Amino acid sequence: MSYILEAKNLNKSYFKKKALNNLNLSIEKGRAVGMLGPNGSGKTTLIKIAAGILRQSSGEILIDNHEPGVYTKSVISYLPDRNYLPKWMKVEDAINYFNDFYGDFDRNRAYELLDFMKLEREMKVTSLSKGMTEKLHLTLVLSRKAKLYILDEPIAGVDPVARDKILDAIINNYNEDSSMLITTHLVRDIERVFDDVVFINNGEVILSGNAEALREEKNKSIDELYKEVFGE
Amino acid sequence: MSMKFDDKLPIYIQIMNYMKKKIITGEINGGDKLPSVRELSTKLRVNPNTIQRTYQELERENLVFTQRGMGTFVTEDKQIVKNLKKDMASDIIESFISEMKGLGFSYDEIAEVVKDRTKKEE
């Protein structure tokens, strides 16, 4: 079995607070994996370590058999959970910026996605609504030909119509050569996209498996399972 | 083509049932080509691997067959479709009867209410 991401005994502390606690996780190539957990469970910390933005305190993480670094950054396309584009930019500038930065960026694909998302190249980044900003970010991230797409809360704070649009873009972009890791706490809207799910709490994986197998075994939707696992 | 999901059941089973109903009612005919995996996955907003699984299972039940490079087609064997209709009906009856039993109805009473109800329709 070949893995696109492998984490072994991963630990991360912020001073005294443990964000990741001996976390183990493997993601197979070509899968869409949902990483589910409440706020503060460690999802974003894990993602930032994978994306090479943070460094673990101890343990090992490999992306496509490499430690986070120049190579892994070139194969990961990462959607952060907040806005990161400079305020002066227009949509077109953002596309140029990505095009300059990433060798695997496909400008034509970006224009197609912009059309699909109903965004104009002349729009200013600062004038976009929350949903539109999310759509722009997703356009940029999905226009790269990456091996691993990491989407941190792609549908948080977005209205249901925009949400469907974003899900469509994610599904249309899905292919066997790339993997996706998507974090969310809005499980219900997105669970049908996942091959596998991983439940994370207090920096540990507490449950993981194939989404369909879990539904069959527990006789519950992943959303219900989430509520059971994390509810009181 | 759109469907409502009850995510409790595995999704591939729900899509199978949905396709089966279409085959039974003749909305999809024998010999018809099913949408490609990617098409259906986009339409239903479901992971393509799930659709793949759905088609595999339908094929295992001989309801569809794959022609390499051409796509997936509905069986032209009328007997298979007939049996499918019978099977699905008996599933519905089975669950209806067990629910009615749960409400304390006897078999005779169940038969009675069904008869009354169907008479009203005519």
Q: How far apart are CA B63 and CA B4, in angstroms?
A: 22
Give me the residue from B7, B44, B49 closest to A215, CB to CB. Answer: B7
Contact A58, A9 (CB under 8 A): yes
Cβ proximity of A212 and B11 under 8 Å: yes
Q: Which has the closest alpha carbon to A230: A196, A207, A212?
A: A207
pLDDT (average), residues B9-23: 91
Are residues A25 and A205 in contact, defined by beta-carbon separation less than 8 angstroms?
Answer: yes
In chain B, the residue whose alpha carbon lies closest to the alpha carbon of A165 is B45
pTM of the model: 0.84
Cα–Cα separations (whole angstroms), residue A217 to A50, A187, B110: 31, 18, 32
How far away is chain B from the Cα of A184, in angstroms, using its nearest Cα?
16
Please tell me the number of Cα atoms within 13 Å of A3 on its side-chain side.
Answer: 13
A168 close to B (CB below 8 A): yes
Of A167, A188, A222, the CB nearest to B45: A167
Distance from CA of A30 to the nearest CA of B (A): 10
Domain boundaries, chain A: 3-230
Closest CA–CA distance from residue B6 to any residue of chain A (Å): 8
Reported residue count of chain A is 232
Which residue among A174, A219, A222 places its CB closest to the CB of B48?
A: A174
Quote the tokens at residue A11. 């630990």
Q: Which amino acid is at A19?
A: A
pLDDT digits (tens, 9 = 90+) for A90-119: 999 999 999 999 999 999 999 999 999 999
Query: In this complex, do B45 and A168 lie within 8 Å of one another by their Cβ atoms?
Result: yes
Closest CB to B7 among A167, A168, A222: A222
Handedness of CA A139, A140, A145, A149 (dihedral sign): negative
Question: What's the ipTM?
Answer: 0.72
A232: confidence class by pLDDT, cuts 50, 70, 90: low
Given CB atoms, is A189 within the 8 Å cutoff of chain B?
no
Minimal CA separation from A226 to chain B, in Å: 12
Q: How far apart are CA B80 and CA B63, in angstroms?
A: 7
Q: What percentage of chain A carries pLDDT values higher than 70?
A: 99
Of A164, A168, A220, the CB nearest to B8: A220
- Closest residue, chain A, to B47 (C-alpha): A193
Place of tokens 């949408």: B35
- Per-residue pLDDT of B52-102, as tens digits, reads 999 999 999 999 999 888 899 999 998 999 999 999 899 999 999 999 999
pLDDT in tens, A13-32: 998 888 999 999 999 998 99
Q: What is the average per-residue pLDDT within B13-26? A: 91
Is the CB of residue B52 less than 8 Å away from at least one CB of chain A?
no
% of chain B exceeding 90 in pLDDT: 63
Chain B nearest-CA distance from A169, in A, is 9
The residue of chain A with its CA nearest to that of B6 is A221
Interval A222-229 mean pLDDT: 91
Cβ <8 Å between B45 and A220: no
For the record, the structure tokens of B57 come out as: 């299972």
Query: Which residue, among B3, B4, B5, B7, would best test binding to A if mutated, counting the most A CBs under 10 Å from its CB?
Result: B7
Query: A228 — contact with chain B (CB < 8 Å)?
Result: no
Which tokens go with A56? 């673990």
Kindly tell me if the per-residue pLDDT of A57 is higher than 90.
yes
pLDDT of residue B2 exceeding 70: no
CB atoms near residue A110 (< 10 Å): 22
Check if B64 contacts A (Cβ < 8 Å).
no
Average pLDDT, chain B: 89
Distances (CA, A) of B61 to A126, B54, B57, B72, B77: 55, 11, 6, 14, 12
Give me the mean pLDDT over the A5-18 stretch: 92
Looking at 3.40.50.1220, 3.40.50.720, 3.40.50.300, 3.90.550.10, the CATH number of the domain A3-230 comes to 3.40.50.300
Handedness of CA B69, B73, B79, B81 (dihedral sign): positive
Percent of chain B clearing pLDDT 70 (strictly above): 98
The alpha carbon of B51 is separated from its chain's Cα centroid by a whole number of angstroms, namely 15
Asked if the Cβ–Cβ distance from A221 to B49 is below 8 Å, we say no
Q: Decide if pLDDT at A138 tops 70.
A: yes
CA nearest to B18, candidates B32, B2, B29: B2
